[in-house]
Chain A
Amino acid sequence: MIPAGAWICLLAPLAGTLAITLCGTRISRVTAAWISTASVAVAFVGAIVAFAGLLGETPHKRSHLSTAWTWLEAGTFKAGLSVLVDPLSVFMMLIVSGVGMLIVLYSVGYMDGDDEERRYFAYMSFFVFSMLLLVQGGNLLILLAGWGLVGLSSYLLIGFWHERPVAVAAAKKAFIMNALGDATMALAFFVLILHGRSLDFGIAFATSSHLSSTAVNLVALGLLGGAVAKSAQIPLHTWLPDAMEGPTPVSALIHAATMVTAGVYLIARTHPIFEQARTIGLVAAGTGALTLLVAGLVALVQTDIKRVIAYSTMSQIGYMFLGAGLGAYANGEFHLMTHAFFKALLFMAAGLVIHALAGEQDIRNMQGIGRLMPRTRWAFLIGSLALVGLPPFAGFFSKDSIIAAAMGAHWYGWIFWVCALVGTFLTGLYTFRLYFIVFPGEPSPFVREHYDAHHGKEGPWTMTVPVGILAVLAVIGGWIQFAPLWTPVTTWLAPVARTLDIAEPTSWEEGISSALAVALGLAGVAVAWMLYAKRERAVPVVPTLQRALEHKFYFDELYDALFYRPSAAIAEWSRRGFEEPVVLAAGPELGDETQLVGRGVRRLQTGLIRTYVLALAGGLAVLAVVFLSVR
């Protein structure tokens, strides 16, 4: 029953992809859209079945490994094509298929009328399949397969509008940065294979406990490399803002709710390795703390509505990394869940605005749209409040526990704690900067001109209903846990990833962190209100800082100079300096040499058989003598 649910959950979206691809133009676009939605809905049902099955069991028995067949076998190494159903994977399955279902449904309206709607929905189903493979994978190799396939679907969907060069470039960038993460993960796996001959979770974790500290640190570092690339954390974060070139529902599903949080899942899943390598765990936490600050700062100056939300996503994943790196796995996962709700909500509400304004994404042109789209305004406001983490919205319950978890962790814990609190101020500021610029006030002339009022409402039901459901979840989704009084999520995940004692805050720590976080978040909102809504103060201008922020701290320029240009130069030199003149000697500019070679070779071709035979026999004789004499 439980494995059956899991397999149905995994395979239904794949079946959807195959059906849409193989039917091609024999089905209408709308049919393709509904096949995709239905396939993800079936996956959600499968996940619920698996969840219900696990609920009926005692906590320590909640782990089922189901192997279809041996996927890869070589020498004594063996890895099955298997799915693992345990509290952690079911938790992720529910989020992925549930939120996925809502976003695919939203796409039915959003993508309506696009030339290549069928391709879009085939990709979307394929993404959901890949993501489910990632979270359900019963060993590290299958996890890596899912890991690679989500990267692939992300590439396909970012570059969905492939006639736009920026979209193609963004897609390539995302794939290549993730390939870098795949490579470091593969190297980590090689260490485990070398010492333990297996990538099954249990054996790999047992292996890691016997490794030297250098080796286990390297394994954890390799895993962290994959996690950082996938979750767009510093230093492998630059692909995420560019990825906003994809359709908005893609941003909501892949680049907010599910795929980019896979790094957090990976740390939680492989936590025994990170616990052996505490240093690397703390590096993960530090990466998160750094990213949440940097991304929060950059978000302050962005003018593209989706990019602001993208930086906010990076920043929120920074919180999750902070929690997971410190050992508060359940808190990281809980924030992952609430973030999936409110961030998908924000993207989809933004999508409604973009949709209504015929593709406009610059927030400076959107002023006053709230007057025309009141329900969207409410949805966006709910999402923003949840993001800032004000009670009783979802973010309040999940984020504050992470902040509190930092307090217990030695002296460096305090640094993380301060970073996280500053982050809440930034979150309040950039979130409500966005809100106050876009929604309140009189609609600008641009909005009046471009607002597409033909529908007479804010969007088709396929778009507004998912937004409504997510708005409800962004309010109540956090109520399932209120640490330390009420902790079902932590309890549920405890059999797989028990929170480390050091990351278990006391009630006092929870209380003070919550109070400060809410106060700072409100302060951020207030500053945003003064600067952008009431315009009581001029927006401060610090040219140097502003320029640095607008250039996103020059990461793109740095990587271009450090990696891309040197490697392209080496490759170009190999071609022009070695391959063409030395190996090929046949480039057009080398015609003379070619002719010389040709003339020389021509002289060899006497056309006399006896010359050839003589040459062959002579060469053979010489070689035979050499070989026989020196053997």
Chain B
Amino acid sequence: MDASSLTDWLIWLPIGTAIVLWIVPFSRYWTGGLALLVSLLEVALWIEQAARFDFGTSGLQFETKAEWFKDLHVSYHIGFYGFSLWLAGLAVIVMAACIAYGFWVGRDRARAYFGSMLFLTGATVAVFAAQDLLFFYAAFEAMLIPLYVLIGVWGGPNRSHATLKFVIYTMAGSLFMLAAVIVLGLQQGTFDLVDGGTSTSRWIFLGFAVAFAVKSPLFGFHGWLPDAYREAPPEVTAALSGVIVKAGTYGFLRIAITKLPEPTAYFRTTLLAFGLASLIYGSLLAFRVRDVRGVIAYSSFAQSGLIVLGLFAGTDLAYDGAVLQMIAHGFVSAGLFLVAGAVERRTTTGDFALLGGMAKGRPALATVFMTLGILTLAVPGSANFAGEFLILAGLFQRHWAWAAAGATGIVLAAMYTLRLISAVLHEARGSTVADEALDLRPAELGVIVPLVACLLGLSIWPALVSHRSFARDRPTQTIGAQFK
């Protein structure tokens, strides 16, 4: 297969399959099987791509470019840089796990469900591959449509409320972004991200920033998050927190910071303050909420704050750390939400008051849950620690006070994660935990263990991502040169 068409395949294979699934009336079994097969094929395609990728050279790789609206200089332009390749890898692996989970659980209305999941996969990869502003916008919006459906149809009892909030928040953010996209494109005379230059408009920056702040989410823009994370089916929440929200932080890096360097510098302190507020506020809430998904949701929110801190620190270490943290957190939160789903299936609840003592007699569940929890709290030696360490070290170079304040996150993460672990696994058996509630089944292990394995692999060698995200040794220079 031609190298550059790999990217096309990575985007259009799942979307094409999704359309086929929607149209052709396969049986439930075949639908799920086909979706799983395609999602695994995606992983294989991505591995092929990563193996061929030259991390040493700067510039776009696996590039495809075709004219779209010629007079507006809009084109179908896709390709990967180091950091976007890692995010695409995160997307295909996590989505494969989520689709496998959905298959195992046996979601009803299978064609609609698996079609949506595959469409979501393709759209997400498209976001990370897009090198044209309008195509980026289209892909960014295309991610949302299947999500609305997935939360609204297969979600929990309060799903319509959650979906409504999610729609309002994300649509509002998108509107600002659309305006910013149009103005930036017209201003530059091209919508191409690679060809176009930089802009100094603070308003354009704010337009993008609002959209990405909703998506990431950042403090004040996170109102959609707790409900959506609680009400969506567990595998959709896993996809959402593991992959989809990374589109927000990715957008900050690829567009806001790269294309708008002057406004980035101007608003740096503001964004750092938002990041810090998210980190601390999210951690504090994660320490107080009383349900499994709530803790993971607020912890993800806090981690988004940490990633934004890394991106807007604007130093070499922090950029590398932010990319590493996006990947590591993507895996860990996806894994945790899937385990949370497994717990809920056994007990029908995520309420701490009704849970407890699940470790007894369930060694696989206890081991997986404990391992993911320990990675979440970023125990030194883990990939998540490496990311956090680099972000804070880079932040320290910006100003020591940011890093000192951010370091409280280390202690807070330990507090809320250990609380989560003991509430589910330890102490007296909860009233909803039946003796006959099973340990993790082999199928569940088959879904979750690969995610854990990715994390352990990254913990053994975090430099794989941290040093292969930006072509040059100095990410600041790479970004300053707009990745050219």
Contacts and interface: CB of A to CB of B under 8 A. Distances in A.
Main secondary structure of the interface of A (DSSP, over half): helix
Nearest to B323: A74
Nearest to B462: A72
B223 interface: yes
A570 B220 CA distance: 18
Interface centre among B380, B403, B473 (most CB of A within 10 A): B380
A172 B411 contact: no
Interface in B344-365: 357, 359-360, 363-364
Interface in A142-183: 144-149, 151-152, 155-156, 159, 162-165, 168, 171-172, 175-176, 179-180, 182-183
Contacts of A70: 463, 467
A584 B364 CA distance: 36
B207 A193 contact: no
A187 B285 contact: no
B414 A176 contact: yes
A201 interface: no
B273 interface: no
Contact of A571 (B285, B396, B418): B285
B21 to A, nearest CB: 27
B233 interface: no
A619 interface: yes
B466 A74 contact: yes
Contact of B392 (A156, A163, A175, A190): A190
A74 B410 contact: no
A30 interface: no
Interface centre among A148, A151, A176 (most CB of B within 10 A): A148
A28 B345 CA distance: 31
Interface stretch (A47-55, A99-107, A531-539, A572-580): A572-580
Interface stretch (A371-379, A464-472, A496-504, A623-631): A623-631
Contact of B415 (A76, A176, A623): A176
B161 A586 contact: yes
A24 interface: yes
B407 A183 contact: yes
Interface string A566-607: 011011101100010001101000000010001001000000
Contact of B381 (A119, A149, A163, A598): A149
Interface stretch (B1-9, B105-113, B236-244, B419-427): B419-427
B433 to A, nearest CB: 12
B201 interface: yes
Interface string B402-437: 011001101101110011001001111000000000
Given A71-B462, A149-B379, A76 B473 contact: yes
A76 B380 CA distance: 21
A69 B461 contact: yes
Chain B interface size, under 10 / 10 to 19 / 20 to 34 / 35 or more: 35 or more
Nearest to A189: B393
Contacts of B392: 186, 190
A72 B380 contact: no
B262 to A, nearest CB: 12
A193 B396 contact: yes
A361 interface: no
B463 A71 contact: yes
Contacts of B411: 176, 179-180, 183
B397 interface: yes
B316 interface: yes
A627 B473 contact: no
A456 interface: no
A554 interface: no
Main secondary structure of the interface of B (DSSP, over half): helix
A262 to B, nearest CB: 13
B460 to A, nearest CB: 8
A538 B466 CA distance: 67
B281 interface: yes
Contacts of A144: 380
Contacts of B363: 24-25, 119
A57 interface: no
Interface in B465-481: 466-467, 473-475
A631 B403 CA distance: 34
B179 A624 contact: yes
A303 interface: no
Contacts of B63: none
A69 B422 CA distance: 36
Contact of A168 (B222, B427, B475): B427
Contacts of A69: 461, 463
Interface centre among B186, B320, B381 (most CB of A within 10 A): B381
Nearest to B397: A194
B474 A75 contact: yes
A437 B379 CA distance: 42
Interface residues of A, number: 71
Contacts of A584: 223, 226-227
A318 to B, nearest CB: 25
A72 B463 contact: yes
Nearest to A161: B426
Given A163-B426, A165-B427, A194-B396, A21 B475 contact: no
A21 B427 contact: no
A439 B361 CA distance: 39
A475 to B, nearest CB: 38
Given A73-B467, A144-B380, A190 B418 contact: no
A601 B168 contact: yes
B372 interface: no
A77 interface: yes
A512 interface: no
A527 B8 CA distance: 85
A171 B410 CA distance: 17
B285 A574 contact: yes
A191 interface: yes
Interface string B147-187: 00000000000000100100010000001101110110011
B96 interface: no
Interface centre among B204, B364, B400, B426 (most CB of A within 10 A): B426
B425 A162 contact: yes
A620 interface: yes
Interface stretch (B10-18, B31-39, B334-342, B383-391): B383-391
A368 B385 CA distance: 51
Contacts of B393: 77, 189-190, 193-194
A616 interface: yes
A177 to B, nearest CB: 9
Given A186-B389, A190-B396, A77 B317 contact: yes
B321 interface: yes
B203 A172 contact: no
A186 B207 CA distance: 36
B269 interface: no
B65 interface: no
A69 B316 CA distance: 21
A71 B201 contact: no
Contacts of A156: 370
Nearest to B367: A21
B175 A175 contact: no
A631 B396 contact: no
Interface in A111-162: 119, 133, 141, 144-149, 151-152, 155-156, 159, 162
14 contacts: A71-B463, A74-B394, A75-B317, A141-B389, A148-B381, A156-B370, A163-B428, A165-B428, A172-B418, A194-B396, A568-B288, A586-B161, A620-B178, A631-B187
Given A75-B319, A180-B411, 5 more contacts: A21-B367, A25-B363, A146-B380, A171-B418, A179-B413
Q: 4 smallest A-B Cβ distances: which pairs?
A: A148-B380, A75-B316, A74-B320, A145-B381
Interface of B: 161, 164, 168, 175-176, 178-180, 182-183, 186-187, 199, 201, 203-204, 207, 220, 222-223, 226-227, 281, 284-285, 287-289, 315-317, 319-321, 324, 357, 359-360, 363-364, 367, 370, 374, 377, 379-381, 385-386, 389-390, 392-394, 396-397, 400, 403-404, 407-408, 410-411, 413-415, 418-419, 422, 425-428, 460-463, 466-467, 473-475
